[in-house]
Amino acid sequence: MESLPIQLLPEYTPSTPAPDYSSKPLPGERCIQKSPRAVPSHSGNATFTYRERGITLTLKDCRDENGRPTFGLGSTIRGEVALEHRQRVISVAVKLEGRISLRDQPTIKVVSLVSKEQTLWESATLHDEIETCPSIIPLSMSFPTSYRERGQDRSFRLPPSFELSSPHRVVIVYTLQVIVTRSRNVPMIGKKFSREVRMNAQLRYCPRVRPSRPVPDCFSELKQSPEDWTEITWITKPSVERVNNDAFLARCHFFFPSVRVFTASEKVPFHLRLDTSPAFLNSLAKLFLPQQDPSAIEAPVHVYLLRQTTVNVQGTSFCHEDVLGRGQMMLQPSTTSKIVLSESEEPVSWSWNGDLRCEVPVVNTGFTTGQITTTDYIVLSLLLPPGPLGFDSTLRRAIPIRLATERWIDHKLYSLTHSEKTLTTAFAASPTSSPGHLATTLYEEHHKQPVASGGYLETFMGVLQSGNANETHRILSQEPTLVDLDSAAECGDFGSRPSDLFLKIYCNVLATLETNPWAGVVSPPLLGSRGVVNLSIISVIPDIIQHHYDCIVRAESEVFLATNFWQASKSASKICDALVELSRRAMNRGKKVVVKMIYDRANLKMLTESHIVVDDAEMASDDVKLPKRSDMPGLEFELVNFHQPIFGTFHCKFLIVDRKMALLDSNNIQDRPNVEMMIHLEGPIVDSLYDTALISWFRPMHPPLPLLGSRYRLPEGGYKFGMDNEYATTRDLDGSQGAELFAKKLEQEAGGKSDGDGDEERKKQIASLRSPNSGVPFISGSYQTITEHLNAGDQPDTHGSLPYEPPASSADEYTPHILHAPHGECPMALVNRAPNGKPGNPASGLHNAQDAAWLAGLKYAQRKVFIQTPTFNAVPVVDGVLNAVRRGVECTLYVNVGFNDGGEALPGQGGINEEVTKKMFAQLTVEEKENLKIYWYTGKCFSRDVVSFQSLPAFISGKDQMKPINASVQKRNCHVKLMVIDDSVGIVGNGNQDTQSWYHSQEVNVMIDNPKVCQEWLDGIRRNQNTHLHELQKDGIYRDEDGNPLTDSSGVGSGFRGVVKGIQGSIARVRGKGGF
């Protein structure tokens, strides 16, 4: 069989060489920040271990493809070698070999591609004694990118691993060989010899190739971008001998993307027009397809993908061809007639739009060596079905292309996430500027503002402008491929490759940046990051505020505190005490601390400006009651009030201290009977939150934060967990293990020294800690009942009804402080959304990192999804959960009955929790309902003594405490915001699952890729709540064990009264007094 003559691509004039660039500053320049990527290109996170003949080889940070360690272009092989017997070892070496084997019976030809040896360790002999080999020897060796064959003048790119079985066997293989040389004594002749022990590991070498630009979506884009398309005209005119009338012919016009390099996993659009006569095709069919009735032929032309491999073995060539995929074609209405082959000689014109896609796996791109050439084609075939070339070349036209293994990376998106420019670095270089205005200059091709700041006027002007509905079309409609995941892994500073689930969600988050780089309310290079979770608190507000206090007073340079609603209260007073104490410590040190605080208390001053500097009068008002600046002489204190009218609430709640740690929590700084959730973060993710803080502040700072030019630094000695963390106190200790830790800490503080009465008092305290009262658990650093602890949220008259029963295991104890087990840095991403003050819920309102992450989590979940939220009514999340349930995913929702404010009863706001749950179950089949599990939040509610039911009002009586309590009575509420997907990826932060958070509020959330942390969260929720005992029935209604539904209600519902209450609730929400 003859090989196909290749139609060469047009020649191009080489460009002028690019100028030399260097990362080193020239005279007069200075480096502001340099962030080397922690994830090298084409790396993976797989580990392979081989053991043979006493040798253990471990390969790390490689890709796992088909169960083999896989490496890309110029990749470095990293790992280690360990020996079972280390005595008498002289040297340890590794050898990378690659070869082509061509079998042509009865001979085999072998061509060497790589032969690279490296000594890892060699003994230094002293006095005939051999040094003992180390137990572990590191390995690092890189693949070459090219090779030169003997007798060849040119170099070839190193080919990929390859195998062809017919008509002759051809393989390209790469192996890594470990060579251990040992000494051996031969007493009979008194000499020492050496012998080698070898083990081999087969590697897979697969260089990646991606297109240089994207492929158009469809042929309709020809008019908008004609340069993206190429036209091939093919005139088919068989020889006179075969067709008597040589005037007959077929003219084919084929349009396809001009890039000519296509990702194997993506479709290739095309347009085809055929001008001919039915009689000509009828004659061809009789000649070339004599066994087929011409009138039964439905497709006069076929389009398909073909790969041709040409092999030269000792002067003899042969070809092997595979059809990779067939084009799907749709006849266009513009055609002149139906496709019928007949004797008619009237000219006809048929047109098709179609697309090509590989239907078989393509693991490597085309390549060329001295013996093998692999080429890909788009083939046009007149009448003949897809098949090998060469049957009759007059009826087939082959167009050379190249199939790539990688998806094209949007260079705009790639450059955004790899840019050295962030708002933080820009502000550090110009600290007197406005962060908000600086942001519009960072990414010149966008000129977009990260958050709105134009007050009521900007909102009203925005109402007159329609949103960009096309923005949501950029959200991925299909599940990302492995190529997509690899590309996403390169668009974040993750430290190690995240899980596939995390990357699938992250792909959708990245897509939001394509039209707006600030869709995540963070500089794109800081969107994907890494860090650790040292502590989580799932408890009442006082516990969380206490940890805020403990962190604030330890500040040395700066504090940034953000909250949605600040209200004069016990919680606010505790923060005030922290500021005053911090001021005292700063004065003692002789160095002031800069404190920035931002909250949302909307007012009419926000006509043209959404960020208002708060003056002394408002700080001293009865609603705020912050300390006077004169009471904080050690602080440079500045406060901003931010709200984007009308509905753009600043709903963020976080704290950053000295760029060393960050707290992200669900609670406002006010007194509420809520169980909330807070996480303590350390690591580079702190810099991401810091960037978000600057964006939110927007205004110039007076004075600027002193650590603008600094980056997060790893604590000396690494991350500290538990009581070893510098911000931990004994108030973070719970349960019997916490009491023991407290006792040990007291013993360590004593240090074996006696100080008289103080020593005796300490001994008594230690003894009491180790002799607990069986009726009272240890919570937040002291012995107290669970009811007493829950009542710390400003509800002293709420009583528990169930007697306390000590759990059988310490793992089941009530422990609201979760001291996470030590762990390494894990991949994280900020998934935020900017405020939107305009009324309405357009589809473009979902084009943000938060909503994209939530939707993707529901879409890509395989087994289960857990959500805890006070409100659940946003249409996108309701639909997302229902779709997941229908796919067989178990969805568990912990929701607070009656938590909705009145505004959620208005049309377009989603409705109240009770109504939503009933509607959800009504849309499911009996089988599907089993996958949807909804529970009303129920507090732990244990007391040392059982109270009398008759002595309490109905809504707080002991009987009602054994089931959910409507949130409207303000006794036992839950405000936790958490989503966990497949027990491994968690999204936690400020956002509720309601319409306000999905479409309007500014939110800050972090997505974490760590199954152990997620499991510790889920265990903590189960330990510290009774919610799992109170599931709604499959009609969406909760009934107690006697079959009775809940009788108390918030009074919020549908109809005219619901609208009235809704308007009242919306006004409260805009004033910052709604229930969110």
Task: Give 33's pLDDT tier (boundaries 50, 70, 90).
Answer: very low
Q: What band does 664 get if pLDDT is binned at 50, 70 and 90?
A: very high
What's the confidence (pLDDT) of residue 701? 95
Is the predicted pLDDT of residue 470 greater than 60, yes or no? no
With H, G, I as helix, E, B as strand and everything else as coil, classify residue 898: coil
Q: How confident is the model at residue 619 (pLDDT cuts 50, 70, 90)?
A: very high
- How confident is the model at residue 760, as a pLDDT? 73
- pLDDT at 1072 exceeding the cut of 90: no
Of 8 and 376, more confident: 376
Tell me the pLDDT band of 1061, cut-offs 50, 70 and 90. Answer: low
Name which residue leads in pLDDT, 188 or 643: 643
pLDDT by residue (tens digit) across 494-533? 998 999 999 999 999 998 998 889 999 999 999 999 999 9
Averaged confidence pLDDT in the chain: 82
Mean pLDDT of 810-831: 93
Q: Burial-class residue 803 by CB neighbours within 10 Å (0-12, 13-18, 19+).
A: exposed
Strands, E, within 923-966: which ranges? 932-936, 942-943
| Summary count for the chain: helices (H), strands (E) | 22, 43
What is the percentage of the chain residues whose pLDDT exceeds 70? Answer: 79
Give pLDDT, residue 526.
96
| Mean pLDDT, residues 544-555 | 97
Average pLDDT over residues 77-97: 92
Is the pLDDT confidence value at 1013 over 90? yes
Q: What is the pLDDT of residue 344?
A: 66
Give the mean model confidence (pLDDT) for residues 766-781: 78
pLDDT interval class at 691 (50, 70, 90): very high
Q: According to the 3-state scheme, what is the secondary structure of 685-724?
A: HHHHHHHHHHHHHCCCCCCCCCCCCCCCCCCCCCCCCHHH
Most confidently modeled of 319-328, 760-769, 959-968? 319-328
Question: What confidence score (pLDDT) does residue 702 get?
Answer: 94
Helix (H, G, I), strand (E, B) or coil at 844: helix
By mean pLDDT, which of 197-206, 445-454, 902-911 is the weakest? 445-454
Residue with tokens 């209260």, as numbered in its chain: 569
Q: Which burial class, exposed, middle or buried, applies to 750 when counting CB atoms under 10 A from its CB (0-12, 13-18, 19+)?
A: middle
pLDDT score at 305: 95
pLDDT bracket for residue 786 (50, 70, 90):
confident
Question: Which pLDDT does position 855 carry in this prediction?
Answer: 96
Please say whether the beta carbons of 538 and 1020 come within 8 A: yes
Give pLDDT, residue 191: 57
Lowest mean pLDDT among 87-101, 388-402, 541-555: 388-402
pLDDT at 730 over 70: yes
Q: Which domains does the chain have, with CATH numbers?
A: 46-205 (2.60.40.640), 219-404 (2.60.40.640), 539-812 (3.30.870.10)
Residue 467 has pLDDT above 80, yes or no: no
- pLDDT, one tens digit per residue, over 325-344 is 999 988 887 666 566 655 66
- For the record, the structure tokens of 942 come out as 């244990």
Read off the pLDDT band of 868 (50, 70, 90).
very high
- Note the pLDDT tens digit of each residue in 996-1008: 999 999 999 999 9
Categorize the per-residue pLDDT at 228 as very low, low, confident or very high, splitting at 50, 70 and 90: confident
- Higher-confidence residue of 210 and 861: namely 861
Q: What pLDDT was estimated at residue 415?
A: 81
pLDDT over 70 (residue 1062): no
User: Residue 715: is the preceding peptide bond cis (ω within 30°)?
Assistant: no
Most confident range, picked from 289-293, 526-530, 744-748 = 526-530
Range with the largest mean pLDDT of 357-366, 572-581, 748-757 = 572-581
pLDDT in tens, 382-397: 888 888 776 556 788 9
Residue 950's pLDDT band, with cuts at 50, 70 and 90, is very low
Whole-number Å distance between alpha carbons of 649 and 599: 10
pLDDT of residue 1065: 53
Which pLDDT score, from 0 to 100, does residue 455 have? 54
Answer yes or no: is pLDDT of 197 > 60.
yes
Q: Is the pLDDT of residue 790 over 80?
A: yes
**Which one is predicted more confidently, 421 or 752?**
421
Q: Indicate if the alpha-carbon torsion angle 940, 943, 947, 952 is positive or negative.
A: negative
Judged against a pLDDT cut of 90, whether residue 62 lies above it is answered with no
Per DSSP (E only), the strands in 902-954 are 932-936, 942-943
Higher-pLDDT residue of 758, 242: 758
Identify whether the C-beta of residue 551 lies closer than 8 Å to the C-beta of residue 561: no
pLDDT (0 to 100) of residue 646 = 85
pLDDT band per the 50, 70, 90 thresholds, residue 1057 = low
The model's pTM: 0.68
Q: What percent of the chain has pLDDT over 90?
A: 49
pLDDT at residue 843 is higher than 60:
yes
439 pLDDT exceeds 80? Answer: yes
The tokens for 241 are 């001998």
Q: How confident is the model at residue 958 (pLDDT cuts 50, 70, 90)?
A: very low
Ranges 4-18, 454-468, 507-521, most confident:
507-521
> What is d(CA 469, CA 950) in angstroms, rounded to the nearest whole number?
59
Name all contacts of 418-422 with Cβ < 8 Å and 24+ positions apart. 418/37, 418/491, 418/525, 419/443, 419/523, 419/524, 419/525, 420/32, 420/33, 420/34, 420/35, 420/525, 421/523, 421/525, 422/33, 422/523, 422/525, 422/526, 422/691
Question: Rounded to the nearest 5 degrees, what angle is found at the Cα of 415, between the Cα atoms of 411 and 421?
Answer: 165
On whether the CB atoms of residues 685 and 828 are closer than 8 A, the answer is yes
201, pLDDT greater than 60 = yes
Torsional class of 194: left (φ above 0), alpha (ψ -120 to 50), beta (otherwise): beta
Which of 133-137, 219-223, 406-410 is modeled with the greatest confidence? 133-137
Give the per-residue pLDDT at 951. 40
Looking at residue 911, its pLDDT comes to 87
